[in-house]
Amino acid sequence: MKKTNVIVTGKSYLAPGIISLWIKEEEMAKEAKPGQFLSIYCRDKSRLLPRPISICDVDPENGVLRVVFRIAGAGTEELSKAAIGDLLSVLGPLGNGYDLREGCALLIGGGIGIPPMLFLAKELSKELTKEQMTVVLGYRDQNLFLAKEFEAFAEVVIATDDGSVGIHGTVIDAVVSNEIFAEQVYACGPTPMLRGVKTFAEKAKIPAQISLEEHMACGIGACLACVCQSNEVDTHTNVKNKRICKDGPVFDSEEVILA
């Protein structure tokens, strides 16, 4: 983990309000693991806190990392205006990522929880064939950002809120209707989706790792602004809490309580 200035080497718009940036930082690119994130600082000094953005992909040979984010406020609006050649102040890689385990994998991503699943699919593909990995992606509508990129690594199943593409319903509706077999589940997305994943995995008796989305402040576990309820007492706080930025963002689903 370190804070440094990085140069923007690539930029594209994937869908309305969805931005992809490639940044160059050789050490970070070598160290990053699927499920980790970067804290990116704004130039506007009135915005003191960095924006936590998950790592979507890495290219260690060329020393670059990719982040994909949705414009959700003033901070991400500013970051969306970064141009190729600009410098950004970045801290990372941060957090604990996914534990890559043996067995047929089901990857579930919803909304802006989709980008980190691409990095995970890429890494899992080093050990698994396309027949051993299924990716289920949940979108609001027909703007299927990143969906095509997953096809190099796995079978891809789509669910949309409005029914414009794929299954009309949730990602779990898509999993059930397609009778997808899995020995490991990995997921990232909004809390309601993760509740569904947790319930599905428990009923199917399949181990699941879930990456929690939460507003963060420091990003390194010092401020306790991004805690979640846990089933066991945390040695840091001595209560049943976990720090999402430090202990997570990835947890075994049975570790945490999703309120």
- Does 126 share its domain with 191? yes
56: tokens are: 């979507």
pLDDT confidence tier of residue 236, bands split at 50, 70 and 90: low
* Residue 169's CATH number: 3.40.50.80
Domain end point (choices 34, 60, 94): 94
pLDDT at 257 over 90: no
Summarised one tens digit per residue, pLDDT across range 113-142 is 999 999 999 999 999 999 999 999 999 999
In a domain, 69, yes or no: yes
In a domain, 203, yes or no: yes
In a domain, 230, yes or no: no
- Does 6 share its domain with 65? yes
Burial 128-159 (b: 16+ CB within 10 A, else e): beeebbbbbbbbeeeebbbbebbeebbebbbb
- Does 151 share its domain with 179? yes
- Does 21 share its domain with 73? yes
The CB density around residue 26, as the number of other CB atoms within 10 Å, is 14
pLDDT, position 77:
97
225, 52 Cβ separation under 8 angstroms: no
Domain region containing 127? 105-213
Distance, CA of 132 to CA of 101 (rounded, Å): 12
In a domain, 225, yes or no: no
- Does 131 share its domain with 75? no
Once rounded to an integer, what is the mean pLDDT over residues 46-59? Answer: 93
In a domain, 188, yes or no: yes
Distance, CA of 134 to CA of 181 (rounded, Å): 9
* Residue 64's CATH number: 2.40.30.10
In a domain, 238, yes or no: no
What is the number of structural domains in the chain?
A: 2
169, 58 Cβ separation under 8 angstroms: no
Summarised one tens digit per residue, pLDDT across range 150-185 is 999 999 999 999 999 999 999 999 999 999 999 999
pLDDT, position 207:
98
Domain end point (choices 70, 94, 118): 94
Phi, psi of 12 (to 5 degrees): -155, 160
Q: With a threshold of 0.85, does the pTM exceed it?
A: yes
In angstroms, the Cα distances linking 158 to 47, 121, 142 are 36, 16, 10
In a domain, 180, yes or no: yes
Instruction: Output the CA torsion sign for 149, 31, 13, 158.
Output: positive
In a domain, 175, yes or no: yes
Please identify which residue in the block is written with the tokens 């003033």: 74
Pairing of strands 87-94, 2-15: antiparallel
